[in-house]
Structure 1
């Protein structure tokens, strides 16, 4: 027995020596291992605050995003090398010391597989993390979309680009930044374009021609950047919030927009894509501290820096109503109580396209707001990437004002701010229909107002959104001087129907003889509208104008918005129709998809809103249904790639005597 124990000790000693030799050899490679935490933009967490992995104690960790799952029960992990190859031979259980990896407290549901893919970049303290495609969300827009850590250049020619990285002129930096605008690049921390990571800091690293993709909190420590003053800002510098991980963001400075230096033109990669837009100095409020920063190797041009030619805005980046900036559109509602108070609610969208229970944020004082005096719409009026609510309010004395409810990062609303006002007798909101969109293509949504005069004249006005979310005085572009367009015969909406990056306006018009037609007003570069073009028409007896509930969105995902309608047949049945658009913004004949039997749906109880509620790149339709007994429910109609709608799915509902449909207005 003593002999057996002695042999066992010898064997264990040999095993320990072999393990030490393997550990020493592994340490000599000096890799930095990054174990990611889930993105802070994820929600609905039910997750532990720490995860323990068996890793060498010399490895460094970084709070980025999980690229894959935790190790299997066998203790084996797949390790991704810097060349992208996978190895299943490294068993971290051989290295006993434990490393605790912090995980964000606001984590969402995590689906774990059998193997965790852990990257080993060369000489970097992090990996390319897998971020979700957050179309419509932003870094610096609502919740920051986050960023990956420092990574080497990826892809063909990466080594030659890294070797050539040295000085860059200011004009070259701007040209490089402009080269990514309009390409439809989706925010993706695991994705690369031209060798650089597709997030905010990777984008600026590309513009500065750095040898690797930095993070917002590494530009300075790694010797690439230096802080400067506001007065020292020049084209090609940056405004940087150097907070770590998902709290940081960086925007490239192009030029001042006014002599007071209160706003500037800038480039940034946000959750809604690469944007070239107006930004208030130093950045939109509520997003942390931004400071001017300069790349140490940027040099002035011998001639003044030219303004680069920027491609057209990407049409698929338009914000419908993404109130919390997570990349999925949401639904907002204004509710009028019997005690003459008004409240604003937010239905946040879930990843399956359904909705969370509504959250109430702002409530008026009793007798201060009158529900019937409010005309609602929603859009990103200050250009920060989160949608706001707006309303035209009709005062009892006949005066009118525009209000904006700014959003918080959780999708709730702040108190409304009044901007434009007019004297009694100038505007009558009962003659007005509102629709939001970026009509001039400057990155901020505006409001188009169709005004139908009582004598049959009509006009289109544009209220341009300002950087503070307020509105300038309306500008009239199109009008008809005689009784050709009766406002009561118009159903008005908006969308980018020709795919040029500017929102247009559209309407269904019902003639007195029963004819029904679709019209498109194409927006011009100043936010006004051209003369409308008639496309689809149906003769009397085919369609009843009063039976149409109209909305608009990109239902087939081709980058052009379409029209959709719920139609109420005389026999009590209902159906969904889609008018797909041609490249010139006109409409094809409608195609019928979902139908229901008589007595199942009463469209007079329905309010419709469109948005990409599941984040798949195609807009859906939300239908708020107010039952006659004060029950209420929210349904989602999802389209297929042809723009046709499946049967609606109900996500939220309340029992009787809770929500009266006639007390609700959707934003």
Structure 2
């Protein structure tokens, strides 16, 4: 690749990924069947949380269809919703009740002021909905992100005698619907940088002393390099998150032991550096994620083999460090993403060439370590969580081969699984 030009995706598979092997755990266990509680009723909500809420109803196994509001079922976070098609979408979007105490019906969705009609079904993203006269379904993902004619996965409540469904619709079935989008969805690309706010993960780097951004376009494609600004010499690799809770991606990095935050303005632009606090010298470069699942980006870092988390307050400030646990000495500095697609931030790191994942449970807690397989030794120094770069609703990984300088992507499939390596071209090492 010409590092100042547009990366061109070269399609070939790699045998890097192997079968998932469960191994002994560390850190703290949590409950897996909880619905995500980051949003409030009628408030902003991420796409990952919308899908996690729908999945909660499906996983319950007792959400029998009913058009009676008296049969409302718990959403797992303190609310109850009617278990019909419109009640499912209202639950997943975390919508308030109408003035009469009932959830929205399909006719209400037609005129709902907090939704917009999509120009095309091809614009559907995870957490949007498919609406037609008398019926509505929640869009989860495309069967094949590169070929929408293969149909889509949806969550739905269809008829009496049935529970919440999770199945596929053919393209011909989908063409009988129109796509709608909730206007309080936070258009962020899971964990990772989305500096232009298009819902697709971006690549960013400061290795040359200049912050450079390649905006994601979907399908593992990226725009031309945007040299945003210089002066980054001496800083750790920046962490991308929303530290002031305005819905735009910010950056955080450490220099001479002081943590700085640059608040994003959208369009690859940032405000002036905010010196947040000192004392960061002995820690690894911080990474950002929502580890307590409150909808605000937190920071995590390792010091002398112990993992610490600082929970964000939403104003570029953080709580005191929470000591999570030891045993991190042999691992690379962790990265953050939602690798099991449950709406909670996970951690990943490499040890002895093997990629390991700790699935987040919320509340700064994590499940047992999951060893995914070897072959990562040539990539571990630049391993990064990119967010969702193929627009399928899953967190993806990227890394640069330390010998060839080629950038590779591994598209997430959920459940801690990834697709084969996709090589995007060479010339990346100077940036990292």
In the superposition, the TM-score normalised over structure 1's length comes to: 0.36
Aligned to 2:290: 496
Structure 2 runs not aligned, ≥5 long: 1-45, 49-65, 70-86, 95-102, 129-183
Q: Is the 8 A contact 1:392 1:403 kept in 2?
A: yes
Higher relative contact order (CA 8 A, sep 6+): 2
Q: Is the 8 A contact 1:519 1:533 kept in 2?
A: yes
Change (3 A) 1:594 1:386: closer
Aligned to 2:194: 380
How far is 1:440 from its partner? 2.3
1:446 to 240, 243, 250: 250
1:619 to 389, 395, 402: 395
How far is 1:499 from its partner? 1.1
Aligned to 1:116: none
RMSD: 4.5
Change (3 A) 1:214 1:550: closer
Q: Is the 8 A contact 1:606 1:623 kept in 2?
A: no
Aligned to 1:566: 350
How far is 1:624 from its partner? 3.5
The answer to whether residue 264 in structure 2 is matched with residue 465 in structure 1 is: yes
2:93 to 181, 185, 204: 185
Change (3 A) 1:650 1:478: same
Aligned to 1:578: 357
1:432 to 236, 243, 265: 236
- CA offsets per residue over residues 61-97 of structure 1, 9 Å max, x none? xxxxxxxxxxxxxxxxxxxxxxxxxxxxxxxxxxxxx
The answer to whether residue 318 in structure 2 is matched with residue 529 in structure 1 is: yes
1:650 to 409, 420, 427: 420
SS in structure 1 at match of 2:382: strand
The answer to whether residue 189 in structure 2 is matched with residue 319 in structure 1 is: yes
Q: Is the 8 A contact 1:183 1:314 kept in 2?
A: no
How far is 1:471 from its partner? 0.3
Rg larger in 1 or in 2? Answer: 1
**Map of 1:241-252 to 2, 5 A cutoff?**
245=120
The answer to whether residue 281 in structure 2 is matched with residue 486 in structure 1 is: yes
Q: Is the 8 A contact 2:394 2:411 kept in 1?
A: no
Aligned to 2:151: none
Change (3 A) 1:604 1:180: closer
How far is 1:388 from its partner? 4.4
Provide the C-alpha distance between the structure 1 equivalents of 2:337 and 2:269, rounded to a whole number of angstroms: 25
Q: Is the 8 A contact 1:476 1:528 kept in 2?
A: no
Change (3 A) 1:583 1:635: closer
Provide the C-alpha distance between the structure 1 equivalents of 2:204 and 2:430, rounded to a whole number of angstroms: 18
How far is 1:591 from its partner? 1.2
| Matched positions, count | 288
How far is 1:319 from its partner? 1.1
The answer to whether residue 323 in structure 2 is matched with residue 553 in structure 1 is: no
Provide the C-alpha distance between the structure 2 equivalents of 1:214 and 1:601, rounded to a whole number of angstroms: 43
SS in structure 2 at match of 1:462: strand
Provide the C-alpha distance between the structure 1 equivalents of 2:295 and 2:235, rounded to a whole number of angstroms: 29
How far is 1:634 from its partner? 4.6
Provide the C-alpha distance between the structure 2 equivalents of 1:501 and 1:609, rounded to a whole number of angstroms: 21
Change (3 A) 1:390 1:649: closer
Provide the C-alpha distance between the structure 1 equivalents of 2:116 and 2:237, rounded to a whole number of angstroms: 47
The answer to whether residue 416 in structure 2 is matched with residue 602 in structure 1 is: no
SS in structure 2 at match of 1:430: coil
Q: Is the 8 A contact 2:212 2:225 kept in 1?
A: no
Aligned to 2:125: 271
Q: Is the 8 A contact 1:432 1:449 kept in 2?
A: yes
Change (3 A) 1:529 1:461: farther
How far is 1:498 from its partner? 1.1
Provide the C-alpha distance between the structure 1 equivalents of 2:120 and 2:393, rounded to a whole number of angstroms: 26
Q: Is the 8 A contact 1:464 1:471 kept in 2?
A: yes
Provide the C-alpha distance between the structure 2 equivalents of 1:638 and 1:245, rounded to a whole number of angstroms: 25
- CA offsets per residue over residues 324-374 of structure 1, 9 Å max, x none? xxxxxxxxxxxxxxxxxxxxxxxxxxxxxxxxxxxxxxxxxxxxxxxxxxx
**Map of 1:79-94 to 2, 5 A cutoff?**
none
Provide the C-alpha distance between the structure 1 equivalents of 2:338 and 2:250, rounded to a whole number of angstroms: 19
How far is 1:475 from its partner? 1.3
SS in structure 2 at match of 1:471: strand
Aligned to 2:97: none
How far is 1:415 from its partner? 5.9
Provide the C-alpha distance between the structure 1 equivalents of 2:261 and 2:88, rounded to a whole number of angstroms: 30
